[in-house]
A and B are shown apart, each in its own frame.
Chain A
Amino acid sequence: MADQDATRWDITSKIAGNLDRHLVFPLLEFLQTRGIYPEEDIMNSKIELLKDTNMVDFAMDIYRQNNGTEEVPVEMTERRKVVIGNLTQLQETAAPIVDFLLDENKVKDLRNDKAYNIKMLQDQYNISQDDIEVLFKFAKFQFECGNYSACADFLVQYRGLCTKLEKSFSALWGKFASEILLQNWNEALEDLNKIQEYIDSKSFTSALAQLQQRIWLIHWSLFVFFNHENGMNFLVDMLVQDRYVNAIQTGAPHMLRYLAAAVIINKKRRNILKELIKLIKSEKYIYSDPVTEFIICLFVDYDFEGAQKKLKECEAVLANDYFLTACVDDFVENARLFIFETYCRIHETIDMKMLANKLNMDQESAEKWIANLIRNARLNAKIDSQQGTVVMGSQHPGVYEQIVEKTKSLTARTYHLANAVIGSGKVNS
């Protein structure tokens, strides 16, 4: 069954475990549109998801839509009452600080000095530390209600006034989530970097907690990386860091899919391919999916047919992945290029027909494709159209080139040597 195949490689559930409730929602929406799971299941999980948030109305809507009735369960209406009660109460307690913050003229009085601000608030507006803490709660409540922009605003202010590092850090996470949900990718990226810095710099009480934070960060950041225009680079840069590699290995091997995809799509980060291959190889026993298998086929076993097969599977997998669905075409194109490049490196003569077959093109377009590559100087080859083959140019460096290569560095090294012996500055060559 096609459905089964699609769900087999679905890792939404693994990812969802490391996300905030609100962040899971887009994933579910996406799955709904793909239709690989029964509609009902998704609806139910949506309700399940919303149950503990304050978005009661939304939950009710879904319930109605799902069950086709106007009635909603009693606990939902109950919950609604509670939520509204909480809201009014919180609004009251948070009123002083919120009013203050909403007044632009007053906000101008704030300076870039926490201690001063707190004192000023205390003295002039009678806003105590406790009130500031209420602000945090209020922001959280807004977030739960789905009012992300208000939440983000409040949290920014809160961070400006908060003195406790821990609290400020959770506020940062909250802001990060809000920005993601608001799709402000640039701000989100900023927050992401801040969080990353914080996690790396601060010594956590236990290494385990730190690891957990990293794993969360990796998951959350997927939203940013796959939506930000330069995201792929950031993704690769972040995940190849030793600490994040460790986090992936210990807690989230499914992240390898994204890393692998990002490396394939992103031409600029090919240099880490070797590392990636080793990583995938060592984690093969824990996690493998068509994307990682593709890499193994191509770069470890040099099994081009296998790679071809995997590539087809990849297409389906990627299409069903919330994050990767946008870059399926990119992925396929680049993967094909990878196959071809590797293929060329070890072949001298290739039959065009076979090649076309392998590349999933007809012969003519394949010839065009290759011709284009040759013209763009990306391929040192010639087409023998009479025999229908591609002949690779010699890759073996001649003796002349070898000598040039070897002697290239000698001058510089000698220069350094001389410098070191005589002392810098005296040698001018």
Chain B
Amino acid sequence: MSSRFFARGSSSEEDETETESEEYSTTEETESESETESSSEEEEEKSGVNRFLVSDSDSDSDLEDARRVVRSAKDKRVEELTHIVEEIRNKMKINDWVGISSNFDKLNKQLDKIKRSGALTKTPKIYVKALIEMEDFLTAALGNKEARKTMSKSNAKALNSMRQNLKKNNKEYEAEIKSRREAPEESDSYSDDSESDSDSYESGSEGEGEEEGFEKVKTKGEKKKVPFIEMDPKDISYGMIMKKCQELIMARGRKGTDKHEQAKTMEFMVRVSKTESQRAQMMMNLVSAYFDMTTGLHTHLPIPIWNRCCMIILDLLNQLEKYPYISVDDAYEQDYSEEQEGPTEGDAVTIAGNLLGCLERLDDEWFKSLQVIDPHTEDYMNRLKDEPVILAVAQKVSKYFAKAGAEPVVARISLRQVEHFYYKTEAVYNAMKALVEIKKKEASESAPAEEEETNPAAAAAKATPVGDEEDVPPVELPSDFTMEEDVFKLMKDLVHYIYKNADERTKARAMLCDIYHKSIHNDFYTARDLLLMSHLQEAVHNMDIATQLLFNRTMAQIGLCAFRKGLIQDAHYCLSELYGSGRIREILAQGVALRYHDRTPEQEKLEKRRQMPFHMHINLELLEAVNLICAMLLETIYLVNINQMETKRRVSKSFWRLVDHYDKLTFMGPPENVRDHVMTGTYALSQGDWAKCSEVISALTVWNLLPQKVEVLEMLTTKVKEQALKIYLTIYGPHYSSIAVEQLCKMFEVGENTVQSIVSRLIISEDIHGSWHQPTQTIVMRSSNNNTTKLQKLALRCVSSAQVLVESNEKALALRTGSLREREDGGGKGKNRGDWEGKDGRQGRGRKWAPQGGKVLGYRDRKGGRGDRQGKGGKGHHQHHHRSHGHQDVAYSSFQRRKEAPREMATLSKRGGRN
């Protein structure tokens, strides 16, 4: 009771805003009345409600109907009347005669309206009461001379005119006023009491005013007929059902409407409906009644109701299939007038309703429930098993619309279907297929039992009423639901259909799903090409958040896919961008990060709604491991090679942060989590100790998540060996005068060819100073430091200092003038660069890991900064190579560019020197 009381209390605030448009239902009045009336006796209260409900539903008699329509219209007007009266009372309290007189005019106008509509036989009590009050107040005001003197001019004027008006007006209602004054009802005293609290007063008095008339209706109804729901189906006509149905629809969404009761009545109506089309219509309405049972935006539909709803939709679809002359249209206005006779069987009939909406709602509710249910419980599993049902519904709806030729709608449904499939690997899909088979078998076994009830309505009737929600059987799969043999073909068909028929957003989403699906099936190149050629990377910033999240998830999957394929650079590119944001959980929609200050509770709620259910999660540990390992393989070399450090940018911020962090630790314990493992591996690698590195990395448990664990680990070991070899030669190379290939092969357990290829690359890129001695198969190292004299060393240092000096001069000037550097570049060496960059932006065709791309959820854009830094790094030492780098910028990814450019510059300059 108390909760209900509060509910009323809070909602009464809305009253004032809503009253204008909303009609008051009888139930509500009852409630408001009972609320003010009794506060202790719950029992009585309940019975009161029930009584009213019964009367409400049984009022559906021929005679009553006509009046009831009027009543509801009248209600509205009376409501307004009450409102104005209330206003007048308020004005009286503050002695505002101007307000009173204007409101008085309004009051009269309203009364006229009511009278004109012919709905009123006698003057409303509330009006009379208001007149009396005003009269009293007026005489009091006139009597109080002191107060009149202090009144403002306009106020006094209004008072005078009011006096005349009221006098004139009251003459008309003299009799009523008199009778009322003589026999003041209880309500008066009551209203006096509560005058201080205008809100409750209003509702109280109003409830009372209405009650009388309503009581009458009720008693009449009780005498004449049984409640609608208990009526004999034979007595119900087509029109009656329509009538009743409309009533329910009108009551929908209003405060105090008992949704369960509504659904129950609807269920009954489905059972008693007269024609097939009417049954379909009733089912449609029933579905929306079920959907109404959600309590809020953030909670999901209770599962039993969901099941029931699903069942009805399936029945409805069967109905539509069986009787093809029935068509559904969401813009159609159903004629609910009572007099009509049902259309003859077989005629084309349209019913109002939105099948697509139903499907989407069903799907959304399912999704929402998964967000909420604890993923480690049986419930979650059971819920997941409902997925085929949705798919079955989707399939049927899609079939229906395909027949109607509504391509965009079918495309939308296809997207829904795609969104159910894209994250499923082949194995999962097959498992689901098996489940469907089992379910179908079960369904066919239980079918004979129901056979006698061929009527779908009877089946619906058999379902337990909404009241007890405990044991609702899970929905049975329709027997004609089929799943495509091959998930790839299925995806292909759906996606291609969408590409052909859908709008941009649907297409983009379908594309992302397609890419995602391809990546989890190791089809990296196709996935990448799709992504790059569709230019989603550039466009994704302008899309809605859900799509951006999907984009991020897709990027993560492509990264994982590239990693499994051994494409470390690509993997790193995809993942580092995601990890660069530092909010990996959020941008993958797999958990809400701790509170940020800049978020309101609404935003937080919204974010919660976007979360992915557990079964769609991408394992974050695996993702982190892959990201860090990629970074390790690519960047450990810069950890040891100080020369390169200067010119290089640290690409993977997360990796370097970690390195810095672990550097500060005094002791390093045995590795526990992913980061520990990778860092231990990194230290081993930086010593050239591949065995330890690979051992530590392989010890990670996350690899068990990969189906191709063995291959991946093998690939990793090979990569680690190669890197270790490189690092070893870079660090220890200068200490050798010559190394035999054989020895290296033994040390790193790699083939001769690999050693040769790696060493050759190092020699070409001048990372080690040495060359092959072919006849003996050894590398002859030539240490540059030993031969230089002290003077030479000093000279070198002097030169580099001079260079620094010039450079800082240039920088200083650039700061003053703005863009000396650019202009100079533009004039001479670097002109191409600017041009190309421009084209890069505009053209944007073809494949690139677009450097602009990947930023998500509106985090800052780095592009400008990156270009700048590039320019500076390149220019300082090797001006004359600028042009070629400009070229390179365009055609290849920013990442590769970063990786390769400096080394290449070194080579070029050396070669240049030689020539």
Contacts and interface: CB of A to CB of B under 8 A. Distances in A.
A417 B806 CA distance: 9
Interface string A343-358: 0011111110010000
Given A245-B891, A274-B888, A414-B806, A302 B761 contact: yes
B806 A389 contact: no
Interface in B847-906: 847, 877, 879-880, 884, 887-888, 890-892, 896, 904
Contacts of A417: 806, 809-810, 813
A57 to B, nearest CB: 44
Contacts of A282: 847, 892
Contacts of A420: 813, 817, 820, 824
Contacts of A246: 843, 845-847
Contact of A416 (B525, B824, B847): B824
Given A303-B757, A410-B803, A346 B525 contact: no
Contact of B846 (A245, A274, A347): A245
Nearest to B910: A397
Interface string A221-262: 000000000000000000010110111011000000000000
Given A345-B764, A402-B913, A416-B824, A351 B775 contact: yes
A285 B525 contact: yes
B799 A397 contact: no
B884 A271 contact: yes
Contacts of A345: 763-764
Interface string B756-778: 11001101100001011111000
A399 interface: yes
Contacts of A380: 914
**Is the contact region of chain B dominated by helix, strand, or loop, or is it mixed?**
helix
A287 to B, nearest CB: 12
B846 A399 contact: no
A275 interface: yes
B231 interface: no
Given A406-B800, A420-B817, A302 B847 contact: no
Interface in A344-397: 345-351, 354, 380, 389, 392, 395-397
Given A302-B760, A417-B809, A420-B813, A348 B799 contact: no
B802 interface: yes
Nearest to B836: A242
B344 interface: no
Interface string A261-304: 00000000001101100110010011000000000000001110
A346 B763 contact: yes
A345 B763 CA distance: 8
Given A275-B887, A397-B914, A420-B813, A346 B760 contact: yes
B733 to A, nearest CB: 14
A401 interface: yes
B499 to A, nearest CB: 14
A402 B892 CA distance: 31
A190 interface: no
B884 to A, nearest CB: 7
Contacts of A74: none
Interface in A130-150: none
Interface residues of B, number: 56
A201 interface: no
A406 B884 contact: no
A407 B796 CA distance: 10
Contacts of B846: 245-247, 249-250
A410 B806 CA distance: 7
A66 B11 CA distance: 94
Nearest to A279: B891
Contacts of A399: 788, 792, 795-796
Given A346-B760, A413-B810, A403 B845 contact: no
A421 interface: yes
B756 to A, nearest CB: 7
Interface string B795-836: 110011011001001100100010010001000000000001
Nearest to B770: A348
A379 to B, nearest CB: 12
Nearest to A346: B763
A276 to B, nearest CB: 10
Contacts of B824: 416, 420
A278 B891 CA distance: 9
A339 interface: no
B668 interface: no
Contact of B888 (A275, A405, A410): A275
B541 interface: no
A282 B760 CA distance: 21
Contacts of A1: none
B706 interface: no
A102 interface: no
Contacts of B843: 242-243, 246
A165 interface: no
Nearest to A245: B891
A285 B527 CA distance: 13
A409 interface: yes
B769 A405 contact: no
B782 interface: yes
A145 B839 CA distance: 43
A207 interface: yes
A396 B784 contact: yes
A399 B763 CA distance: 19
Contacts of B533: 250
A303 B904 CA distance: 20
B847 to A, nearest CB: 5
B810 to A, nearest CB: 6
A246 B771 CA distance: 38
A211 interface: yes
B21 interface: no
A348 B773 contact: yes
B887 A396 contact: no
Contacts of A405: 909, 912-913
Nearest to B883: A271
B806 A346 contact: no
Contacts of A245: 846, 891
Interface in A103-138: none
Contacts of B879: 409, 413
B896 A278 contact: yes
B757 A406 contact: no
B112 interface: no
A350 B877 CA distance: 34
A211 B845 contact: yes
A396 B768 CA distance: 12
A346 B847 contact: no
B527 to A, nearest CB: 12
Nearest to B908: A274
Contact of B914 (A286, A395, A421): A395
B840 interface: yes
Contacts of A342: 764
Contacts of A243: 843, 845
B913 A413 contact: no
Contacts of A413: 806, 810, 879
Nearest to B791: A399
A242 B840 contact: yes
Nearest to B774: A350
A274 B910 CA distance: 16
Closest 3 CB pairs of A and B: A246-B846, A302-B760, A348-B771
Given A302-B756, A401-B913, 4 more contacts: A211-B845, A347-B774, A392-B771, A409-B880
17 contacts: A242-B839, A250-B847, A274-B888, A274-B904, A285-B525, A303-B756, A346-B764, A349-B774, A389-B774, A392-B771, A405-B909, A406-B799, A407-B802, A410-B803, A413-B806, A420-B813, A420-B820
Interface of B: 525, 533, 753, 756-757, 760-761, 763-764, 769, 771-775, 780, 782, 784, 788, 792, 795-796, 799-800, 802-803, 806, 809-810, 813, 817, 820, 824, 836, 839-840, 843, 845-847, 877, 879-880, 884, 887-888, 890-892, 896, 904, 909-910, 912-914
